[in-house]
Each structure stands twice: as C-alpha cells, then as structure tokens.
Amino acid sequence: MPQPLLTEREVAALVALYHATGGSPHAHVPKQAILARFRKDYRGYVSEALDDLVRHPERYILKHPTRNEMTYQITIVGVDKLQELRLI
C-alpha cells in the first residue's frame, strides 16, 4: 500500500519542528515554539497541519502532555521522511 503524501503545510510544519528540536527525536517543544517560526497569518494553517501530522498513519510527530501545555516531538520516521525529501 503506498504511503499517503504530505501536503506542503505538513512538510513545512515538520521542518519547523525539526529545527525547533534541533533535530533531536528526544526533545519536546511547545506548539508556540513551532508556530513562532511562521508569519502570524500562516500560524492557523500550521496549527492544523500539526494536528494532521499527529493523526497521520506514519506517526511523523508525537504529542506529549505536560503539566501546563501540550508539547510535540519529532520521531525517527519524521526525520527519515525529511531526509527522503532532501530537506535536511
């Protein structure tokens, strides 16, 4: 079965998460740290793309609850996808 394609918004959110975590699959960053990398008028779209990536069957990113807020973590599969797309 072929893998579902990522949209441009999902790829942009995945790259921003990669850079926000410094490429580490063990780091957790809040949503605001990811959204701050985009213009204000794009942040709503990126927020939706993050939610879509969490629900993606390949599990490119994971949600991690903390006491005060939800944080996000890139997975090894997400890093591999960015390398496959030659974005890192």
For residue 3, is it within any domain? no
Please give the pLDDT value at position 5: 87
pLDDT at 3: 64
Span 29-81, pLDDT tens digits: 999 999 999 999 999 999 999 999 999 999 999 999 998 899 999 999 999 99
The predicted pLDDT at position 39 comes to 95
Whole domain around residue 15: which residue ranges? 8-84
Which is nearest to 50 in space by CA: 76, 81, 14, 82?
A: 14
- 20 lies in some domain: yes
CATH code for position 73:
1.10.10.10
Q: How many structural domains are present in the chain?
A: 1
The answer to whether position 1 is within a domain reads: no
Task: Give the residue-averaged pLDDT of 15-24.
Answer: 95
d(CA 47, CA 40): 11
